Amino acid sequence: MFDVDFFVIGGGSGGVRAARIAAAEGGARVALAEASRVGGTCVIRGCVPKKLMVFASGYPEAIADARAYGWEAASGGFDWAAFRGRLGAELDRLEAAYRATLARAGVEVHDQRATLVDSHTVSLEDGRRISARHILIATGGRPFVPEVPGAELAIISDAVFDLPALPGRIVIVGSGYIACEFASIFAGLGARVAQVFRAPHILRGFDAEARAHLQGAMAGQGIALHPGAEVVRIEADGADGAARIVHLTDGTRLEADVVLYATGRRPNTAGLGLEALGVGIAPSGAVEVDGYSQTAVPSIFAVGDVTDRVNLTPAAIREGQALAQTLFLARPTRAEHPLVPSAVFTRPEFGTVGLSEEDARARGPVEVFVATFRPMRSLFAGREDRALFKLVVDAASRRVLGCHIVAPEAGEMVQLAAVAIGMGATKEDFDRTLAVHPTMAEELVTMKTPARRG
C-alpha cells in the first residue's frame, strides 16, 4: 500500500496541472513538493512578471502618441520601487490562487525540496519519506551563465525583478527571446541598452525575414546591437565596484550598471537521484521520456521544461494534463505538439506559428506572401514603425504552412491564425475570409500576389 497515488516534484505549470487533474477529476491521493514558490518559472519569475514589465515599458511611447493625437500628456519619471511593490503583490496574489486551487482539489503541498530514494519513494528535506504509486518530475529549468572571467558579476533573468533600482545602462548577453524581450523592456523604461550575441542575427530558428525585420526595429529604438561578438571578461568598476566593464571579442568595451545573461536554460535534474534509478538523462541534462511522458523507470514520469521538448508554459500544461488523463482518468493521451504558436514580447511583438520559410522550402515548393506597411496608429503619430505580415503556403496543396507577424499585438493575432492553420486552412480559405477594416490583421486575408515562389 502506497502513502499516495501520485507524488509531484515541482510546483510549476506542468506539475500543478497534473496534480490538480489527478486529484480533482481522477480521485487520486496526490502530494506535491516545491522548494521555491508555487507557480514556478512562468508565474513567479518568467512569463507573468516579464509581461507586466512589457506593459510598463510601453507607456512612454503611448504617452508620446497621445500628444500627437491631441492629448495634453506628460510621463514624468518611472518609479521602479512603486512598480516592484505592485509586481510583488500581484505575484503573491497569483501564488495564493495556485495554492487555493491545489487545496480545493485535495492536493497536499510540501514546501520543501524532494529527491528520489527509489522508484516509488521520495525523501523530503525534513527527513520524511513518502511512497507513491507514480512519481512525476516537473522541476523545470534554470538560466545559466557561461564560464567567463567575471561571470559572478552578472545576473540572470530570475534576478531582474529584484533589482533595487532601474539600471541606467544595461548589457544583455544573448539573442533568444528572453534576451530580446528584456532589451526592449529596458529600452522602453529609459535605460541605455546594449545587446551582445555571437550569431549574426537574433532569434535563431525563427523565420529569417521576420527576425531581420524585428532586429531592424530594435536597432531603430536605440538598442545598440553587437552581433558576431562574445564576452571575453567582465570587470567591476567605479569607486564602490558597483559598475561593470564588459570586454568583447571584437575589442569593444561596454560600460554598464548591470550585465544580464540570457543565453539559455538548463533542465533542473541535478541532485534528484534520477540516474541512480536508471532514468535516462540526455547530455543537456533533460529527462528522457516517451510520448506518454514516461521514463525508462515505469513508475517515474516527467513533463515540462525538465524534458527539454517544447519549453513553453502551454506545452507543460498540455503534457501535465495528458499524463493525468492517462494515469487516472483511463484516457491514454500522448503529449504531442503538432503545432506550437509562440510570441516574442518585444516592441513590436513577434508572433509565429507553423513553419518558417526556410523550413518549408526544405520540404518542397512554396509560395510566400509578404506585406510590410506603416500601421495606422503609429503613422498618424509620426512614427516610422513598419509591420510585417507573412504567410508561407505549400505550392501543391495550397495549405498555409506558416504565419509570421511582427507588429503590435502580434501574439493576439497569431493565436487566432493558429486555429485556422491547425485545421488545415488553404490560402484560398484565407482569401475567402472577409477583411475587418481598418485593422492590421486584415493583411492576413488581403495578400493576393506572392512575393516569392519556388
DSSP letter at 314 equals H
Q: Specify the 3-state DSSP secondary structure of 346.
A: coil
In contact, 313 and 42? CB cutoff 8 Å: yes
Q: Which of 213, 337, 404, 437 is catalytic?
A: 437
Per-residue cell: 297: 523507470
The Cβ of residue 233 has, within 10 Å, a number of other Cβ atoms equal to 13
Task: Round to whole Å and give the CA distance between 389 and 404.
Answer: 6
The most distant pair of C-alpha atoms in the chain lies apart, rounded to whole Å, by 72
Task: Round to whole Å and give the CA distance between 408 and 369.
Answer: 20
Reported as half-sphere exposure (CB side, CA atoms, 13 A), residue 183 has a value of 35
Cβ neighbors of 222 (< 8 A, separation 6 or more) are 187, 192, 193
Residue with cell 523592456: 185
Q: Which residues pair with 426 in a beta bridge?
A: 399
Task: Round to whole Å and give the CA distance between 426 and 403.
Answer: 12
Cβ neighbors of 22 (< 8 A, separation 6 or more) are 5, 6, 28, 30, 324, 327, 328
DSSP letter at 161 equals G
Q: Which residues pair with 123 in a beta bridge?
A: 115, 129
Residue with cell 532589451: 183
User: Catalytic annotation on 226?
Assistant: no
Task: Round to whole Å and give the CA distance between 133 and 189.
Answer: 50
Q: Specify the 3-state DSSP secondary structure of 421.
A: helix
Task: Round to whole Å and give the CA distance between 245 and 145.
Answer: 17
DSSP letter at 423 equals T
In contact, 161 and 172? CB cutoff 8 Å: no
Termini Cα distance of the chain = 63
Reported as half-sphere exposure (CB side, CA atoms, 13 A), residue 149 has a value of 8
Catalytic positions: 437
